[in-house]
Chain A
């Protein structure tokens, strides 16, 4: 294979994964023609902020804004990729444009998994979703949130803060799948104190007509509210890759450098990459950034570029609690308290594993990620 420097790189996707890939290509010395395709008309923004500060921050509508891109790419925004021909090295866009490339970055992310086709079922995934929900909350409507993961709980928290009556429907205890029983218990207590009603159910479905949606639980209970919002996970945007041979099980599997093949990388929420717990998607902010940094270099340098050394960083803010975690949650059993004590005050916790490493969690405790990461390592 020739090692000639690529002249044209196309990045499909303008979220933090695509943006970081484009930035990193430039940092790594790529000075050729760079094109970024984004299906939203907005510049890249911080998605984690949408369900946190953006729902809460008074009149401040800037908490999701990122510094302007410095990669100097040709940006095609409000345009969607519809096809990929890996043999001819061309991306097709929905306006009919064909974009040739020498190297390609797939970063089209994922979308909200919906439980119905009804427009009355809201989801929160993109900036427009968040601004629309924010607008609705001004009138303090009643709200049912379906989904007991971090996103559903953050949205429920934001709606409570806006003065809404909020019912959250969850399969089992909220957050237990993501955080483990101990931390889920802490959050359940805080949510209760903040007036959240939680209904546990085996399954929920959305029924109704048009803008009029209601939630029907497994046992037949019907929940009606002014706003019905679901937060039931995400689905990778891989449809445009149909026929490319690059997808498997609804995601794009990549190697330890984020490459699908030598000339194509996949980064962010649609990529399944090797982790300590198998090949999987890790749809988190810092995951997207780290994947993109590694893959951009690998596109230019192949195996000479360092592989991904990944350790998840996750945070959530809700019901007066701020949690930061490094490691592979959920955490089982009781933690060691490195600082603070049980009871809801600021605390630094550690769940040790048999090999000496640990998951580290800070609750209402300001600590930098590098320090939290150090707490996960085995003692020397």
Chain B
């Protein structure tokens, strides 16, 4: 599975970082950084949880 970020849509809430700090974080400018893009198993579940909490649907796991 791969985490896909729709960057123009991201508003930098960072709820995804709260859900999956192992996989992504917002940098000092508030831009989302995907620390890992390819995920499987437990990480894929985490990535889905991160995508789910995004209120602007900027993340997909495909």
Interface on A for B, CB 8 Å cutoff? 19-20, 23, 27, 46, 48-49, 53, 62-67, 70, 285-286, 289, 313, 315, 317, 322, 324, 365-372
Contacts and interface: CB of A to CB of B under 8 A. Distances in A.
Contacts of A366: 12, 26, 29-31
A23 B52 contact: yes
A64 B51 CA distance: 13
Given A27-B45, A367-B12, A370-B18, A64 B57 contact: yes
Nearest to B26: A368
B8 to A, nearest CB: 10
A289 B57 CA distance: 15
Nearest to B53: A289
Contact of B48 (A62, A70, A313): A70
A67 B48 contact: yes
- Determine the main DSSP class of A at the interface with B: mixed
B53 to A, nearest CB: 6
Centre residue among B25, B48, B49, B52 by max chain A CB count within 10 A: B52
Given A23-B49, A367-B30, A368-B17, A285 B55 contact: yes
A46 B55 contact: yes
A70 B51 CA distance: 12
- Determine the main DSSP class of B at the interface with A: mixed
10 contacts: A23-B49, A46-B56, A64-B57, A67-B61, A289-B15, A315-B13, A322-B11, A368-B26, A369-B15, A369-B17
A256 to B, nearest CB: 20
Contacts of B26: 366-368, 371
Interface in B5-60: 9, 11-15, 17-18, 21, 25-26, 29-31, 45, 48-49, 51-53, 55-57, 59-60
A48 B13 CA distance: 13
Given A366-B30, A368-B25, A368-B30, A63 B52 contact: no
A65 B21 CA distance: 23
Nearest to A66: B57
Given A67-B57, A370-B18, 7 more contacts: A48-B55, A70-B48, A315-B13, A366-B26, A366-B29, A367-B14, A368-B26
Contacts of A70: 48
Contacts of B17: 368-370
A27 to B, nearest CB: 6
Given A63-B9, A66-B52, A369 B57 contact: no
Nearest to A20: B52
A366 to B, nearest CB: 2
Nearest to A19: B52
A285 B14 CA distance: 13
Contacts of B60: 67
Contacts of B11: 317, 322
Contacts of B56: 46, 49, 53, 63
Contacts of B13: 313, 315, 324, 368-369
A287 to B, nearest CB: 12
Nearest to B47: A67
A286 B14 CA distance: 11
Nearest to B25: A368
A286 B15 contact: yes
A48 B11 CA distance: 13
A67 B52 contact: yes
Contacts of B15: 286, 289, 313, 369
Contact of B14 (A19, A62, A66, A370): A370
Centre residue among B21, B55, B59 by max chain A CB count within 10 A: B55
A324 B12 CA distance: 10
B51 to A, nearest CB: 5
Nearest to B15: A369
Contacts of A317: 11
Nearest to A317: B11
A365 B21 CA distance: 21
B57 A49 contact: yes
Contacts of B48: 23, 67, 70
